[in-house]
Chains A and B, each alone.
Chain A
């Protein structure tokens, strides 16, 4: 059962051998090659060209790089791409169904819950992970679930309202 992520090359003066990683991203089987030092965020953005996840602080404070892995949100900047072997990953690109926006995306637009937009993918991901576990959260539960995502221009009220509104729509089957 040992995962195949062998990298037996020398490090000093040599390029470390690339690692082959098999994952499921937004419902599709995806295999990629990456350097062991690359974060999952770098792999998503630079290797797979999924640029929805944003690079913010690179220290796990801002949440702009949040993705869902096996049902739990993580900062993709604080994880190596090689660690994603066998994982199910949801990025913001996986929220909309074709041209139809996810209710969270729709309500973020309707409630004007974004301005510059850099934090938005991370907020959408954290909100989706919350609603997947708790379809009818209280405002306090939403604020706790979004505590790992920072917004520096819109403020949090509109974001929280959009999540409450999206939960209502989804409860009604929308």
Chain B
């Protein structure tokens, strides 16, 4: 690996100062499970590594029943999965966090890093979009919040400018009778990259859908918020026709390619299957929740 410098800020302000000083030559580090591989392969060649793991704000899960959760960008996936409030209120997101790689990877990799890496196949990103999560970014003239569906701009690229860092996710409070689900298709049981991933959240009022959000991964150059599919469910009872209609609109929102993991045609088909299943799972969870 090429030579680097390693810096350890302990506050957001310090991190921003360091990143601004080094500009394009710097790259933030959290779990490193994508970054070190990319550096060895020469895909990214940062000269300054700024380790954000020692900033308290980035390491906390703060839950408030009214305000929702603030999930620090550097919280490792395993802590998301082990958090009782996360499992209770956001089961789809915690499942996605627990699907990424092995325990060795989950112990290091963060949900924030998963997003900042900018992969269209990131497992936690559709789950975050389904929840309506916003990414809070520091380092600009003013702090800003960006909806997660707008964060990744092309494969490996994000809205972050040099000197900006993702501090935390702001995830809305769980509403009564609401829940979420994430499913991905891979050709084996565990330890693979999504061929298709779908995250869905559903809020029910009796049998009627009050709110819905469906998001797709690995079927386009960036993660996709399937707005029309989501809206199509609102005000309907979740019968087969409503679910099938949403699945068709999700397929239309997908723009997949052929690659070694699957053909575009197969990916469109699986997008429909996983959309149906995640709607059913999220709705079932919402019904069972008080």
Contact = CB atoms under 8 A, between A and B. Distances in A.
A66 B37 CA distance: 16
A72 B81 CA distance: 14
A135 interface: no
B12 to A, nearest CB: 13
A16 B5 contact: yes
Interface in A27-79: 35-37, 39, 58-61, 63, 66, 72-75, 77-79
Contact of A72 (B2, B47, B51, B107): B107
Contacts of A73: 103-104, 107
A126 interface: yes
Interface residues of A, number: 42
B248 interface: no
Given A3-B54, A83-B51, A148-B191, A11 B4 contact: yes
Contacts of B5: 7-9, 11, 16-17, 36
B120 to A, nearest CB: 19
A7 B10 contact: no
Interface residues of B, number: 34
Contact of A66 (B8, B14, B104): B104
A114 interface: no
Contacts, number: 109
B161 interface: no
Contacts of A22: none
A12 interface: yes
A2 B11 CA distance: 9
Given A5-B6, A63-B102, 10 more contacts: A2-B54, A36-B4, A37-B3, A60-B104, A75-B105, A79-B32, A83-B51, A145-B103, A147-B103, A148-B105
A37 B37 contact: no
A82 interface: yes
Contact of B78 (A12, A72, A149): A72
B101 A148 contact: yes
B150 interface: no
Interface of B: 1-10, 14, 29, 31-33, 36-37, 40, 47-49, 51, 53-54, 78, 101-105, 107-108, 190-191
B6 to A, nearest CB: 4
Contact of A19 (B6, B103, B108): B6
A7 B144 CA distance: 31
A79 B108 contact: yes
16 contacts: A1-B54, A9-B5, A16-B4, A37-B2, A37-B3, A39-B36, A74-B108, A78-B36, A78-B108, A79-B32, A80-B6, A80-B32, A80-B49, A129-B103, A147-B103, A148-B102
